[in-house]
Every structure is written in C-alpha cells, then in structure tokens.
C-alpha cells in the first residue's frame, strides 16, 4: 500500500511533522489505496515561510518568464495524462471518460494562464486615460502575495488548476491544501512543480484534513489571501478566519441549480441535457442542475424519456469502458445522500426512478440515479444541495413561473435553459440569477469564461481574466506628465 508521508515545502519532500494517519480509499473496491500521514501546523508554518521568502523573486521575474513554467506544467500534465486519469478514477471513483475531460480541462487552464501571464506583463505600466491636464497615471497589477489554496475532492487536479494557474501567473506564491479524500492525484501537482524545477518555495503542498491543516492555513497571518472551494459551512469558517488581519478571500461554494425546459423544447434532446446536468460525476458537481423545472405540457413525456435513460445508465467499475456512472467518492458522501433519500421517504415524495427500480452493483459506494417529481418547494430536497445523483422536478404553467421558481433559491451558481428558440433561451437566461448559464447545451466549461456564483454560491470568480484578477492588487502611479 502506498504511503504518503511527506509534504512538499521549499522544493523538498519533508517528512510530515504530524502523527495522524488517514486512510485514502478506492470507493469502488472499498479498499484502502494509501495511508496519508497528515501534516502538522508546523508544516503549514514552514510552507508559509518558504512561500514568503520566494515571493519577491517570483514577482520580479515578470509574467512572460513565469509563463514558461505554466506551459511546462501543462506539458507535464499532458505527458502524465493517462496515468493521472487512472489515479483519479481509482481514488475519486469517477468514470474514466470523465477523468479525461478533467485532465484536458486542467491542461487547458495552465496553458490559458500562461497566455494571461504574458498579457499581464505587456500591460504593466499602461497609461490611464483621464481628463486632467499635465498629469499622467500609470496602472500596475501586483501579486496579492502569499496565497492559501484549499480544494475539495470532486474534481481533483481541476479545482486546483483553476487556482494554482492564475495564482502563478499573477506572481503569487502558494501554500496548497488539497482534499484529504483525493490526495493521490493532487500530489502530482507537487511532483510536477519539482519536475519542472519551479523555483523553490513558489508552490508548497501540505496534506491533511480540514481541522488539522485547513484551519491553521486559513488562520495563518502570513497568508495574504485565501481561495477556497468547498461546502458553504466550511466556506463561512474560512471567511471568518480571513477577517482577522483583513485578508482577502474568494469562495467557490455550493449550488442548487435549475434546468428549465420551456414549452417549445424537443423532449428527447432536452432529456439528454437534463441527464448530463445531474448524473455526470455521480451528481457530485457544484453546478449540478438538480432542480428540473419543466413546462406542464411536456412534463409527462420528459419524465418518461428520463426514466428510459436512467434505466440505461450503467453503474460499475470506474475503470471499465462501459461505465456511465461510478460510486460516490466516499462512504461519507454516500451516507450524506442517503440521509436525503430517507427524508424523501418520510415526506412521501413521488419517485419516477430510485433504488427500487434497479439492482446496485455488489460493491462500491453507490447511490442509484434518482428522479423525484412534483417535489414541494419547501422540501429540503428542493432547497438544499444534495451533491449526489438526485434530481428533483416540478412542472410550471408559464415561462414567467419557470423564471420565478428558478430564481427562488439562496444559491446562484449555474443554470440551463432549453428551448426550441435560441433567442428565447438567451432572453430567459438573462433573467436568471446565476454565474454560468448554458442554453441548449450540456455544461461546457472553458478557461476563457468565468466560474462562480451569486448569493451564497460564493464570492469572486475563477477562470478568465477575472480568475487572474482575483490574485492581483491594482495600483496606480500618478505624477506630472512628461513633456
């Protein structure tokens, strides 16, 4: 069994100062894959010190030179693509085809921020247009400093890429704490930093759980900015921690996103997009469109089309080519989803499909793909993020009702609109309160478009130029204009 006993600090693998051992699991085989020796707060201290020392030189290199390392990151990830896909599928439980999408997404992200780093250097010191005579103002964008990055387990190497790539491009130095659930693929981040000879201290990785490492990292006075992706409960704690010392924070939190099927939609096509929006990654997607809002004229036909597709989903070994849906990533997540299914039984919700309609695989942390119809809007299944393959549906009588119901949520991460008329779909999308809205599409993600949410789905945006600006401080230097 593999042992993960070292932290990556100042470009050295340092034996963890902590004593706690955490089991790293394969959620399909339900076997322990590795033993992780969690770090100690002293490891966090050492990592922050290394990052602080590395900051001035890394900043002074300028964006164009930093870009070379970002390209090298992408190249090395691409070289290790197949191996990391397998590692991710084994540790996370996601189907191999999904891990290919993840790896390609991460590679594209590092390449994109290499370009952004070059563009950043080009625009440093640009003159600002203004209307005052005899004065010039120049704009510079400096790195936010040492950043603490904390990620969840559902998209290993992707959520970390969305933070690490822009942070490096901006000239920040990093202390990264990946999820303790999926440390195996994430450890590759440090291995790659070492392989491409990133300057010492620029990227440090400390493994461990939330209380042991996440909390001390969030509270560390040597961290200038925190970027967190995960649950709302922990996000609030990170934000509280950042308040001490008035440190910056960006939060990518949960969602309860709607998918609207309007009365002019093609039902069969709509069913495909509805399926992709909720059962991909076994529903463990922050942007999962877990609230289906369908025009009443199409509801019965759509539920039938979905039932057929759910029955056809093949649940099984993530490494098998014919697997559509793997297990939940952990026993804990399976139990969390099952608690909602218990509530559904208590509330007498009407299941179009649930575990009673299929035989689950004999092994693995599986939850059956589930569809409830006519879910009351005050049910916790309608309102709370379940983070599993559970779709809740309601029918409505008009476009206006659909929009109103879609926006009736404290979350605002994502949404999808399906209509036979693309212009109508875009018009409806404009009225939705969410950061990413797809129409007549599955959830396409690209590094150029932003990611992040309204309301309690978070603060700030990742990806695109917005993702870079999250790691920059803007400054203007103003004085007499040269004559």
Q: Within 244-330, where are the H helices?
A: 267-279, 299-312
The size of the interface with ligand NAD (CB under 6 A), counted in residues, is: 31
- Closer CB to ligand NAD, residue 224 or residue 399? 224
The least CB distance from residue 16 to ligand NAD, in Å, is 15
Catalytic residue status for 384: no
Residues 362-391 that bind ligand NAD (CB under 6 A): 385, 387
- Integer CA distances (angstroms), 408 to 25, 84, 317, 331, in order: 38, 40, 38, 31
Please, what's the b/e burial string for 278-308 (b: 16 or more CB within 10 A of its CB; e: otherwise)?
bbbbbbbbbbbbbbbbbbeebbeebbebbee
The least CB distance from residue 93 to ligand NAD, in Å, is 14
Q: Which stretch binds ligand NAD (CB under 6 A): 207-215, 314-322, 360-368, 420-428?
A: 207-215
Name the DSSP letter for residue 81: H
User: Do the bridges between strand 390-396 and strand 289-295 make them parallel or antiparallel, or are there none, so unpaired?
Assistant: parallel
In 10 A of CB 481, how many CB atoms?
11
Name which position in 95, 150, 161, 202 contacts ligand NAD (CB under 6 A): 150
**What is the helix, strand, coil percentage profile of the chain, to 5?**
40, 25, 35
Cα first-last separation, the chain:
71
Name which position in 93, 458, 464, 467 contacts ligand NAD (CB under 6 A): 458
The least CB distance from residue 273 to ligand NAD, in Å, is 20
**Residues 223-252: x where in contact with ligand NAD by CB under 6 A, - otherwise, as a string:** ------xxx--x--xx-------------x
In 10 A of CB 474, how many CB atoms?
9
Selection from 446, 366, 346 nearest residue 94 by Cα: 366
26 binds ligand NAD per the rule CB under 6 A: no
Residues 413-432 that bind ligand NAD (CB under 6 A): 413
Residue 253 is encoded by which pair of tokens? 């939190």
> Catalytic: which of 252, 365, 399, 462?
252
**Helix count (H) and strand count (E) of the chain?**
15, 23
Name which position in 156, 214, 327, 467 contacts ligand NAD (CB under 6 A): 214
Name which position in 18, 93, 145, 152 contacts ligand NAD (CB under 6 A): 152
38 binds ligand NAD per the rule CB under 6 A: no
Catalytic residues: 252
Q: Can you give the binding site for ligand NAD, defined by CB under 6 A? A: 150-154, 159, 177, 179-180, 209-211, 214-215, 218, 229-231, 234, 237-238, 252-255, 286, 385, 387, 413, 451, 458
């Amino acid at each position: 069994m593999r042992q993960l006993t070292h932290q990556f600090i100042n470009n050295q693998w340092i034996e963890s100062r902590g004593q706690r051992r955490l089991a790293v699991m394969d959620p399909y085989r339900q076997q322990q894959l590795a033993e992780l020796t969690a770090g100690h707060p002293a490891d966090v201290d050492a990592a922050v010190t290394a990052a602080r020392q590395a900051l001035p030189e890394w900043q002074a290199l300028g964006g164009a030179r930093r870009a070379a390392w970002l390209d090298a990151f992408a190249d090395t990830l691409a070289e290790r693509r197949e191996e990391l896909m397998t590692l991710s599928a084994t540790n996370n439980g996601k189907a191999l085809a999904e891990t290919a999408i993840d790896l390609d997404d991460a590679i594209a992200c590092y390449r994109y921020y290499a370009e952004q780093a070059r563009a950043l250097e080009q625009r440093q010191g640009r003159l600002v247009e203004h209307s005052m005579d005899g004065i010039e103002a120049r704009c510079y964008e400096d790195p936010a400093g040492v950043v603490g990055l904390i990620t969840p387990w559902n998209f290993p190497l992707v959520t970390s890429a969305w933070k690490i790539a822009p942070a490096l491009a901006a000239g920040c130095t990093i202390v990264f704490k990946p999820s303790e659930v999926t440390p195996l693929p994430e450890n590759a981040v440090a291995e790659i930093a070492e392989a491409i000879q990133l300057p010492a201290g620029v990227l440090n990785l400390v493994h461990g759980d939330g209380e042991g490492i996440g909390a001390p990292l969030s509270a560390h006075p040597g961290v200038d900015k925190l970027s967190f992706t995960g649950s709302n409960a922990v996000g609030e704690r990170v934000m509280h921690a950042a308040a001490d010392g008035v440190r910056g924070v960006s939060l990518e939190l949960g969602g309860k996103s709607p998918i609207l099927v309007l009365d002019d939609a093609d039902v069969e096509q709509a069913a495909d997009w509805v399926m992709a929006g909720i059962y991909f990654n076994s529903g463990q997607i922050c942007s999962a469109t877990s609230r289906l809002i369908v025009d009443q004229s199409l509801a019965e036909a759509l539920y039938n089309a979905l039932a057929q597709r759910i029955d056809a989903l093949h649940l099984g070994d993530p490494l098998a080519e014919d697997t559509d849906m793997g297990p939940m990533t952990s026993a804990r997540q399976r139990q969390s989803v099952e608690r909602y299914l218990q509530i559904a039984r208590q509330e007498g919700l009407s299941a179009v499909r649930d575990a009673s309609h299929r035989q689950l695989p004999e092994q693995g942390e599986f939850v059956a793909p589930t569809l409830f119809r006519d879910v009351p809007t005050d049910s916790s299944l309608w309102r709370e993020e379940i983070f599993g393959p559970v779709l809740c549906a309601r029918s409505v009588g008009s476009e206006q009702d659909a929009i109103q119901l879609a926006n009736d949520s404290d979350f605002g991460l994502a949404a999808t609109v399906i209509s036979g008329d693309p212009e109508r779909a875009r018009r409806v999308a404009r009225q939705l309160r969410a950061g990413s809205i797809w129409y007549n599409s599955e959830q396409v993600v690209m590094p150029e478009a932003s990611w992040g949410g309204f309301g309690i789905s978070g603060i700030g945006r990742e990806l695109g130029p917005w993702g870079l600006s999250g790691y920059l401080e803007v400054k203007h230097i103003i004085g007499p204009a040269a004559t």
